[in-house]
């Protein structure tokens, strides 16, 4: 459509500028899978751009984007130059990729993907939206590879909405790539491979491990990992859960278990499971499917886009991750009072969610107070997008990363339905919280500006499209002037 002639000054056809650059292959995510894909493509003689949002800006990390950092990063993360150097040197594959001819952008997030389709045909090419700390721009591609990895599954409990409760993937990132973890003594929730591996990594990095808490009556991970944890004299508290986290001005100070045991710690790390990071998949309108065993939604095959690494699906270890996660959700839900926060950004409680109540800063009429999930289910299956609009759970700056999956689990439990029968809330671009001054394009061409007065001009605030360019347009203009 980019070469089409402009026949209507008010239409977008042909007006959108060409992207800032175009590549044969754009890879989003510079983990092992993304690096390998980029190097292979460069070896085939293709022009390749490799993009990774790490190091993430301190403000975004404070809002747990993209991982559940839980306020446990050091102030070193505020030094952007130091973090770029640290992240680059911690991943040797990045240098190898550059030597292979790959163009590398660190500290750059991908916030949206746009392709022409049945309802949109004005793009000069398919593009991905990128942004760094100072600007936003579009990059064209022939093929897009998403290697966006996975993020932590967060499940709330009393006191989890304070600094010091974080995810295992975030802890691994702070320990291995950022070298900027601020905690000193960590208690892990879960005892499958994720929790065990992260606990051993923390011990290796000199962090004290206060123990692991397991809801089942025995550790759930690989035998060799369990043996290594026990050899390190790390206690595993089985048949137990964190009943609440207590803390002070700096966040978590101790965990109180259901059994009554008190464990001193400044960090509680959730290692219950990971979820494929498919926000871009959602935002571009691509399809997704539920992995019934490994947990989480994964992208369906899509022409022109490849998915590699954990974003395409977590490794199959033969373990029933969904059953394990739902067991944790039920157990933590049982120790959580109605006032326990579910959505930290909007301060939506369990009671609000199950009662389908609006945020507590809005007036609740008697009609609203009589509403509940049960009354909603009388009209049909629960839908998380609907619940999101009614309660605002998932509408905050973290864009649902801390609550989206646990809300779906809670709705399934309350509706007495298997996990996966409640569709997850959708994502829309931008899938990263970006300041408007960065996201906005202030350099619109005159072609783009022409015609906008049809909609926003004064006094011609709106004119029916069919009347544009006819005598009726003048009549509308005169009517507005006379009415004014």
pLDDT, tens only, 189-245: 999 999 999 999 999 999 999 999 999 999 999 999 999 999 999 999 999 999 999
Query: Burial letters for 190-206: b for 16+ Cβ neighbours within 10 Å, e otherwise?
Result: bbbbbbbbbbbbbbeee
At residue 425, the pLDDT reads 84
Distance of CA 198 to the CA centre of its chain: 21
Strand partners, 204: none
Return the structure tokens found at 440. Answer: 């906005």
At residue 463, the pLDDT reads 66
Q: Say which DSSP state 256 is in.
A: E
Where does 234-393 have alpha helices with state H?
279-283, 321-334, 350-355, 366-369, 373-377, 384-391
For the chain, which ranges sit under pLDDT 50?
1-4, 6, 455, 457-460, 482-484
CA distance 171 to 168: 5
SS3 276: strand
Q: What is the mean pLDDT of the chain?
A: 89
Domains of the chain and any CATH numbers:
21-150+277-312 (3.50.50.60), 452-483 (no CATH)
427 touches 282 (CB < 8 A) = yes
Task: Reply yes or no: is the peptide bond before residue 284 cis, omega within 30 of 0.
Answer: no
At residue 138, the pLDDT reads 93
**Helix, strand and coil percent figures for the chain, each rounded to 5:** 30, 20, 45
CA distance 312 to 64: 22
CA distance 9 to 271: 56
At residue 162, the pLDDT reads 96
pLDDT, tens only, 458-467: 444 566 667 7
């Amino acid at each position: 459509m980019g070469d089409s002639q402009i026949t209507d000054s008010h239409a977008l056809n042909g007006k959108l500028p060409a992207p800032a650059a175009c590549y044969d292959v754009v890879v989003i995510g510079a983990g092992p899978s993304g690096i390998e894909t980029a190097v292979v493509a460069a070896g085939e003689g293709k022009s390749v751009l490799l993009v990774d949002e790490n190091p993430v800006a301190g403000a975004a990390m404070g809002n747990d984007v993209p991982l559940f950092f839980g306020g446990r990063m050091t102030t070193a993360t505020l030094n952007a130059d130091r973090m770029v150097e640290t992240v680059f040197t911690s991943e040797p594959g990045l240098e190898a990729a550059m030597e292979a001819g790959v163009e590398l952008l660190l500290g750059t997030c991908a916030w949206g993907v746009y392709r022409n389709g049945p309802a949109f045909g004005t793009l000069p090419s398919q593009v991905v939206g990128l942004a760094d700390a100072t600007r936003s721009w579009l990059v064209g591609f022939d093929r897009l590879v998403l290697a966006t990895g996975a993020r932590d599954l967060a499940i709330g409990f009393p006191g989890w909405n304070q600094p010091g409760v974080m995810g295992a993937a975030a802890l691994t990132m702070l320990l291995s790539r950022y070298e900027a973890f601020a905690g000193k003594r960590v208690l892990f929730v879960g005892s499958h491979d994720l929790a065990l591996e992260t606990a051993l990594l923390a011990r290796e990095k000199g962090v004290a491990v206060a123990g692991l808490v397991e809801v089942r009556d025995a550790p759930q991970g690989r035998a060799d990992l369990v043996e290594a944890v026990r050899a390190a004299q790390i206690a595993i508290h089985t048949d137990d859960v964190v009943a609440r986290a207590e803390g002070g001005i700096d966040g978590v100070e101790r965990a109180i278990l259901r059994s009554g045991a008190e464990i001193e710690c400044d960090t509680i790390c959730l290692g219950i499971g990971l979820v494929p990071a498919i926000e871009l998949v959602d935002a571009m309108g691509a399809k997704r499917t539920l992995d019934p065993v490994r947990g989480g939604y994964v992208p369906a095959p899509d022409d022109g886009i490849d998915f590699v690494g954990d974003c395409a699906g977590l490794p199959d270890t033969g373990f029933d991750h969904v059953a394990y996660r739902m067991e944790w959700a039920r157990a933590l839900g049982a120790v959580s009072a109605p006032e326990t926060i579910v959505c930290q950004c909007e301060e939506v409680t369990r009671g609000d969610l199950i009662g389908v109540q609006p945020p507590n800063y809005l007036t609740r009429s008697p009609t609203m107070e009589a509403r509940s999930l049960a009354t909603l289910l009388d009209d049909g299956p629960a839908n998380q997008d609907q619940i999101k609009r009614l309660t605002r759970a998932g509408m905050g700056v973290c864009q649902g990363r801390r609550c989206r999956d646990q809300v779906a689990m809670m709705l399934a439990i309350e509706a007495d339905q298997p996990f996966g029968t409640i569709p997850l809330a959708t994502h829309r671009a931008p899938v990263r919280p970006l300041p408007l001054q960065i996201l906005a394009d202030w350099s619109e061409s005159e072609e783009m500006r022409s015609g906008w007065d049809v909609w926003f001009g004064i006094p011609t605030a709106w004119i029916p499209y069919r009347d544009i360019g006819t005598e009726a347009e003048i009549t509308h203009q005169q009517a507005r002037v006379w009415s004014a």
